[in-house]
Amino acid sequence: MLSRTLHIALLFYLGMACALAQQPPQDATIDGSTVTIGSIYITGNEKTREEIIVRELGFEKGDVLKKSDLLEILELDRQKIINTRLFITVEVIPLLISDSEVDILIKLQERWYIFPVPIFKLADRNFTEWWVNQNRDFSRVNWGAQLFHMNLTGRNDRLSARLQFGFTKLYALQYSLPYIDKNQKLGISFSASYATNKTVGLSTNGHRQEFISFEDETLRKNINANVGFTYRPTFYTRHTFDLGYSNTKVQDTVAIANPNYLGDANTRLQYLRLSYVFSRDLRDFVAYPLTGSYFRVAANQFGLGVFKEINMLTTRATYSKFFDLGKDFFQANRLEVFKNWADNIPYVRRTGFGYRPDFIRGYEKYVIETDFLISYRTSLKWQFLEGVSNLNERSVIPQFRTLPYAFYFKVFMDVGYAGDPLQNNENNFWNNDMVGSLGVGIDIVTYYDFVMRFEYSVNREGGTGFYFNLRGAL
């Protein structure tokens, strides 16, 4: 009965989305008069270099624009500057000099960029996995410290260093610079990490992971290194090329218990990885979009023939669409397709629902491992509270004097299909079948891209649960 309800609800949501998308814009006007852009003034960028801000503008001094288009252009540019994630607030204000000339004032409040952050994080896939399946075991917690600098030299370049202990010992360093050329189109990034585990997931039974653990023996060691290049020819499109190296070693115990863990009973798996990603991002706010769209395709080739230990190609396509329905109502939709084209997939490279970025709400306790999946998620939201709280006007750090916030009540539906199960899986009752859920929840959004989700869902089988997450669902 619930399965039929999910099908009916899916058709209803798709019909509503199409109808709303075809509605004509309200209060559209046509004005043939033009205005010339004069001086552009930027204030508040104490750390950020001016060229990083100007890069996001769709105009320059001397450009001639239609008056009827001016406010829309300025709002789009405000959104682009916000999406650099460098500023708490952005205002783009037209200053009329005459009937035919306008100056532009850009008022900014920069974020706080340096964060020494203590690490206290669950090693499991989500809170529910740890709370229910792992019986709230605190040995499965990672702890340590991480340092972030989100604007190291004022060029929107980002540095992070991580020193982590607990379930996974991890030492990691990452740096990215979005633009290295004069035209600000080409960027570069580097990363390296070393991790060890005394507990590893070894197999899956009934869509739940099974682990092997030794207190006094490290079962897995992993080294990763990557160099990436980004090419951003326009405001909204980006091409990313990444070359990576991975070297994983396990103890004989792991290879004997699961010969397919690294493949062919190997105790070491090393390979080069080449990936390409194309994205077109028209979302108003990247961290929690309310309007716009997002399209992304990605291909990853694991193994380039150098080490001859793996040859695996994966592809993924994602499309999201967001609607402002008026009167503080919004709708979000996301369609995603993933395919692993390899015949033999090592268990360490397993994918499916339950592993990032793929999930179906209502199945947080489970993994549905597969080489093919398709999912559709949709939410109807009502913004019932929004504002800014004054925390402490005397704070030495101005970035923490106010706290912006927004609260959304939502109803949601997720549906998905997982194909054939992978090796070392047993009792795969949800493979080659549809899964889905309905639910309600509250999202809380505040500054520094922080999102909290509180959700109650009922899945296709009638299972219910209350779930908490710290990232957006769409």
The CATH number of the domain covering residues in 114-369? 2.40.160.50
pLDDT of 397 reads 67
In CATH, the number for domain 32-110 is: 3.10.20.310
Would you state the pLDDT for residue 404? 82
Please state the domain extents for the chain.
32-110, 114-369
Q: Report the SS3 class of residue 444.
A: strand
**According to the model, what pLDDT value does residue 10 have?**
44
Q: Say how far residue 463 (Cα) sits from the centre of its chain.
A: 27
Q: What is the pLDDT of residues 254-276, one digit of tens each?
A: 999 999 999 999 999 999 999 99
Percent of the chain past pLDDT 90, that is, above it, reads 65
pLDDT along the chain (474 residues), means of 10: 44 41 37 85 95 94 92 94 92 92 94 84 69 71 88 96 88 96 95 93 88 85 97 96 97 92 93 98 93 98 92 97 96 97 92 91 91 97 89 67 87 96 85 96 86 93 87 78
Report the pLDDT value the prediction gives residue 395, as an integer from 0 to 100.
65
The predicted-structure confidence for 44-54, as pLDDT tens digits, reads as follows 999 999 999 99
3-state helix, strand, coil in the chain (%, to 5): 15, 50, 35
**Residue in the block written with tokens 């951003």:** 232
pTM of the predicted protein model: 0.84
Q: In CATH terms, are 32-110 and 114-369 the same topology?
A: no
Q: Write down the pLDDT at residue 142.
A: 77
pLDDT score, position 222: 96
Secondary structure of the chain in HEC code, one letter for each residue: CHHHHHHHHHHHHHHHHHHHHCCCCCCCCCCCCEEEEEEEEEECCCCCCHHHHHCCCCCCCCCEEEHHHHHHHHHHHHHHHHCCCCEEEEEEEEEEEECCEEEEEEEEEECCCEEEEEEEEECCCCHHHHHHHCCCCHHHEEEEEEEEECCCCCCCCEEEEEEEEECEEEEEEEEEECCCCCCCCEEEEEEEEEEEECEEEEEEECCEEEEEECCCCCCEEEEEEEEEEEECCCCCEEEEEEEEEEEEEECHHHHHHCCCCCCCCCCEEEEEEEEEEEEEECCCCCCCCCCEEEEEEEEEEECCCCCCCCCEEEEEEEEEEEEEEECCEEEEEEEEEEEECCCCCCHHHCCEECCCCCCCCCCCCCCEECCEEEEEEEEEEEEEEEEEEECCCCCCCHHHCEEEEEEEEEEEEEEEEECCCCCCEECCCCCCEEEEEEEEEEEEEECCCEEEEEEEEEECCCCEEEEEECCCCC
Predicted confidence at residue 143, as pLDDT, reads: 82
DSSP summary character for residue 303: -
